Chain A
Amino acid sequence: MKRRRLCRRSVPAVAAWVAAICPAAAEAHLNSTGMGPLYDGSLHFLTSPEDLVSALALGLWAGLRGADHGRRALFVLPSAWLLGGLLGATAAATPDSAVGSSFWLLLLGGLLAADAKVSLRLTTVLAACVGLAHGYANGAGMGAAWDAAGALLGLGAAVFVLVALSAAFATSLRAPWTRIAVRVAGSWIAASGLLLLGWSMRSGWR
């Protein structure tokens, strides 16, 4: 009797497990969550490693520089991303971003690896540039500005959450080895950017 009840209870768990691991098609521009453009935009950011890793590197680096740099990146990056996205959505052509991605990964990973100490103003400028460049590339693939607005809002929210978490994490690090571990991750990001640049050059600056 008990066993039958246990089996009956486990059916939803098995169904949920199957649903969770069942492979689904991964599509870009835009991934459809079925929950509207806001969530589509968030998912697009979370499934685009070139965007995700750049924002992560900036958040970690700003966090290592201190709470004031982290706070500045937290508000400037998503705002600039949103603005860049809206500008991109009005653009006629989609920019090719493989070389651009490798540049940002190399720069942000390098800054993180070197634990570069810069002024708050420079952090602001850098966050704005990163946001505008990535947002523009995202927005350019989304079609008309009005349709893209919801997706860009979701995308900006995801950027905000990621920068908040990564900057807060890096700011809270006190033990020297933990800061070094974050810097090692920065060197991995820069190295990946360098390899991506090689791939881009090999395929004729596609």
Chain B
Amino acid sequence: MLLALIAWPEHALAHVQTGEAVGFLTGFLHPLSGPDHVLAMLAVGLWGAQLGAPAIWLLPIAFPLVMALGGMLGLVGVPLPGIEYGIAMSALLLGAAVLFEARPPLAVAAALVGFFAIFHGHAHGTELPPGQSALLYSMGFVIATGCLHATGIGIGAVHRWPWGRALLRAAGAGIAAGGVFFLWKALS
């Protein structure tokens, strides 16, 4: 009886945003369900950790904003060619940046990350399922992406040790290899 009582479903009614997204949890899980997105987000965090301040916080601030802009473009129907290639290339190039410990000027790093963020945002913006609360869905989506960045930065903390640097470069190689795989899949 207790179990039945707990599991008994009831309606949730909202008022401001109607009929567009299915809530925070769905939004939160959506970015985690795509391995291409996960790899690229981890790479952003890892690269930020390698570059240190101010890139370590500038990249995770810039990415969600530009990604949301890409999502908005997708939502209003602005077409973006080669989305799958862009996403695959993001994992490939960001993984390569981690592998080679690339240290471009901050503006170049931010522009590169921002450029790929448009593709990720556009893809996920057009994939969003119909549901109920657009704001909660959007917040879940953005927070999950931010958590992936934070995970990458957390893992990147091993950069201070020599073995950690080697480990990060190996992780970058793995991400770049994943990018090659996704690119091959997109081309075939």
Separation in Å of the A146 CB from the closest CB of chain B?
22
Task: Select which of B12, B68, B74 is within 8 A of A25 by beta carbon.
Answer: B12
Does A199 reach chain B (CB closer than 8 Å)?
yes
Asked if residues B136 and A201 are in contact (CB atoms below 8 Å), the reply is no
Separation in Å of the A89 CB from the closest CB of chain B?
16
Asked if residues A23 and B10 are in contact (CB atoms below 8 Å), the reply is yes
Asked if residues B68 and A192 are in contact (CB atoms below 8 Å), the reply is yes
Chain A 164-206, CB within 8 Å of chain B: the 1/0 string?
0000000000000000100110011011111111111111001
Asked if residues B13 and A113 are in contact (CB atoms below 8 Å), the reply is no
Interface residues of B (CB under 8 A from A): 2, 5-6, 8-21, 57, 60-62, 64-65, 67-69, 71-77, 125, 133-136, 138-139, 141-143, 146
Separation in Å of the A151 CB from the closest CB of chain B?
15
Residues of B within 8 Å of A184, CB to CB, are 57, 60-61, 146
Asked if residues B138 and A196 are in contact (CB atoms below 8 Å), the reply is yes
Asked if residues A202 and B142 are in contact (CB atoms below 8 Å), the reply is no
Interface stretch, picked from A26-34, A66-74, A122-130, is: A26-34
Does A49 reach chain B (CB closer than 8 Å)?
yes
Interface of A is mostly: helix
Separation in Å of the A185 CB from the closest CB of chain B?
8
Q: Given A113-B65, A191-B68, do A27 and B13 touch, yes or no (CB 8 Å)? A: yes
Separation in Å of the A136 CB from the closest CB of chain B?
14
Known interface pairs A141-B15, A194-B68, A195-B75; 6 further A-B residue pairs with C-beta atoms within 8 A, sorted by A's residue number:
A23-B10, A183-B61, A191-B64, A194-B72, A196-B138, A202-B76
Does A48 reach chain B (CB closer than 8 Å)?
yes
Interface residues of A toward B: which range?
35 or more
* A53, B138: Cα distance in complex, Å: 13
Asked if residues A26 and B12 are in contact (CB atoms below 8 Å), the reply is yes
Asked if residues A197 and B15 are in contact (CB atoms below 8 Å), the reply is no
Does A22 reach chain B (CB closer than 8 Å)?
yes
Smallest CB-CB A-B distances: 8 pairs: A198-B75, A198-B72, A195-B138, A191-B68, A28-B15, A199-B134, A194-B68, A191-B64
- Nearest CB in chain A to that of B61: its residue: A187
Asked if residues A49 and B9 are in contact (CB atoms below 8 Å), the reply is no
Does A7 reach chain B (CB closer than 8 Å)?
no
* A48, B13: Cα distance in complex, Å: 12
- Nearest CB in chain B to that of A190: its residue: B65
Q: Given A49-B135, A113-B65, A184-B57, do A23 and B17 touch, yes or no (CB 8 Å)? A: no
Q: Given A113-B61, A188-B142, do A199 and B17 touch, yes or no (CB 8 Å)? A: yes
Residues of B within 8 Å of A28, CB to CB, are 13-16
Asked if residues B8 and A101 are in contact (CB atoms below 8 Å), the reply is no
Residues of A within 8 Å of B14, CB to CB, are 26, 28
Asked if residues B15 and A195 are in contact (CB atoms below 8 Å), the reply is no
* A113, B19: Cα distance in complex, Å: 30
Q: Given A192-B142, A206-B18, do A187 and B65 touch, yes or no (CB 8 Å)? A: yes
List 20 A-B residue pairs with CB atoms under 8 Å apart, sorted by A's residue number. A18-B6, A25-B10, A25-B13, A28-B15, A49-B133, A98-B17, A101-B135, A113-B61, A187-B62, A188-B64, A190-B65, A191-B64, A191-B67, A192-B68, A192-B142, A193-B68, A195-B134, A196-B17, A198-B125, A199-B17
Asked if residues A201 and B76 are in contact (CB atoms below 8 Å), the reply is yes
Task: Select which of A29, A191, A197, A201 is within 8 A of B142 by beta carbon.
Answer: A191
Residues of A within 8 Å of B11, CB to CB, are 25
Separation in Å of the B16 CB from the closest CB of chain A?
6
Residues of B within 8 Å of A180, CB to CB, are 57
